[in-house]
A = this chain, B = another copy of it.
């Protein structure tokens, strides 16, 4: 009894999920839809499945779940249509760039009673997931402070950044989710600042920044600092550490190999995995595995649309804090 899934969106991330689905022994990849016929046809041919359109997917009673990998502006609408059609949803982040629309979408999902997994794949990374499990098991006592370093190897094109919603929604959305997941707490106040240091065009043409520093204080007084940059000459840098009352847990980068070279100048090892497709390869597989397990009733959903909305709230607040140069206070 395979689980039948369809994929909407044949771009970079759609190819990842569709490929993982096609190789998964318990998944029947029912088909692939894309706004453009060519990419959909190529991907479907490569994976031995059909091209469908969104209507066909939603109408097909055999399809249990839809993987939404299309552009961000289509997410909210597709989520709502899919759950209305009785499908479970696995949607890439973010839910939407607009908080009100994301909240409306959350209501629709909750009303429909369908699972809506949001693609915060870092929660499924072996290192991050192991750290979280050890934290939950009490290994370092009560968590007190979280320090996140998150750097990309290089910035995407300015044209992409212009439509990205800004660095806080586009890049830090993942880090905000890490904050909520790891500390298991909500923000009481947030301060964000940043600069455009790697490419002046990012400020000039996209009115955005490329280097940020965010501080969150939680309702129970815990502290979180997030530092991100759009550029790290040495590759993709994804680390965090949690201080607890009884110790500290660090999550480090993964390296392609374990070769160490002793040369006449230095002792060296590999740089971190190049970018997210390499670093999170296992996470993407584990995330899909979880989706299938949720649909099969063997697991309960670990990261749902409410988490997507919460992360967006933080990204919204950070954008505001940065633009106004002031601390944002939540709640009341």
Q: Please, which residues of chain B bring their CB within 8 A of the CB of A251? A: 258-259
Cβ-defined contact, A197 with B222, below 8 A:
yes
Q: Is A147 an interface residue (CB 8 A)?
A: yes
- Nearest chain B CB to A285's CB is how many angstroms away? 12
Cβ-defined contact, A130 with B250, below 8 A:
no
Q: Please, which residues of chain B bring their CB within 8 A of the CB of A197? A: 144, 221-222, 245
Contact A234/B247 with A222-B195, A258-B252 known, Cβ cut-off 8 Å: yes
Option from B223, B229, B266 in Cβ contact (under 8 Å) with A213:
B223
Q: Please, which residues of chain B bring their CB within 8 A of the CB of A256? A: 126, 130
- Residue-wise interface mask of A (132-164) relative to B, using a CB-CB cutoff of 8 A (1 in contact, 0 not): 001000011100110101010000000000000
Segment of A3-11, A87-95, A268-276 in the binding face: A268-276
Q: What is the interface size of chain A, counting residues whose CB is below 8 A from a CB of the partner?
A: 73
Q: Please, which residues of chain B bring their CB within 8 A of the CB of A222? A: 195, 197
Cβ-defined contact, A233 with B258, below 8 A:
no
Q: Once bound together, how far apart are the Cα atoms of A189 and B266, in whole Å? A: 35
Cβ-defined contact, A258 with B253, below 8 A:
yes
Q: Once bound together, how far apart are the Cα atoms of A244 and B191, in whole Å? A: 23
Option from B149, B211, B271 in Cβ contact (under 8 Å) with A267:
B271
Option from B247, B257, B327 in Cβ contact (under 8 Å) with A326:
B327
Cβ-defined contact, A258 with B327, below 8 A:
no
Q: Please, which residues of chain B bring their CB within 8 A of the CB of A23? A: 23
Known: A130-B257, A191-B215. 16 other contacts (CB 8 A): A23-B23, A127-B257, A127-B259, A131-B259, A134-B261, A139-B261, A144-B229, A145-B213, A189-B325, A193-B215, A195-B221, A197-B222, A213-B225, A254-B258, A261-B266, A267-B272
Contacts A/B (CB < 8 Å), 24 sampled: A130-B257, A139-B263, A144-B197, A147-B227, A189-B325, A191-B193, A196-B221, A211-B223, A223-B227, A234-B247, A234-B267, A247-B262, A249-B260, A250-B260, A250-B261, A250-B262, A251-B258, A251-B259, A252-B259, A266-B270, A267-B269, A267-B270, A325-B327, A325-B329
Give me the 5 closest cross-chain CB pairs, A-B, nearest first.
Answer: A195-B221, A266-B268, A252-B258, A234-B262, A248-B262
